[in-house]
Amino acid sequence: MCAPKFAEMAEAAGLPKKLGYTPREVSRATGVCYSAVCRCMREGHLENYLPRGMKRGRLSTPAMVDEWMKGGSDA
């Protein structure tokens, strides 16, 4: 049985379908604690981006989260 994709996990968690998810949303969908998600983003284990024109509010795409989860989540 293969692991669920993040998009499916996000939908199951009641999150809307979108291009980028906040660390809190990633935490909610995956069950990984918020501080661990933030640490993984900060340390480069979970790829993320800052939307153009923003100074805060890093996001990760579903594909980025899928890649992170394949690596064991480093949490």
pLDDT digit string (tens) for 30-53? 999 999 999 999 999 999 999 999
SS (H, E, C) the chain: CCCCCHHHHHHHCCCCCCCCECHHHHHHHHCCCHHHHHHHHHHCCCCCECCCCCCCCCEECHHHHHHHHHCCCCC
Write down the mean pLDDT value for the chain. Answer: 93
pLDDT one-digit tens code per residue, 50-73: 999 999 999 999 999 999 999 865
d(C-alpha 16, C-alpha 21), whole Å: 10
Residue 74 has pLDDT above 70, yes or no: no
Q: Do 59 and 22 form a contact (C-beta atoms < 8 A)? A: yes
Torsion (CA) 32, 62, 12, 56 in degrees, nearest 10? 60
pLDDT score for 2? 66
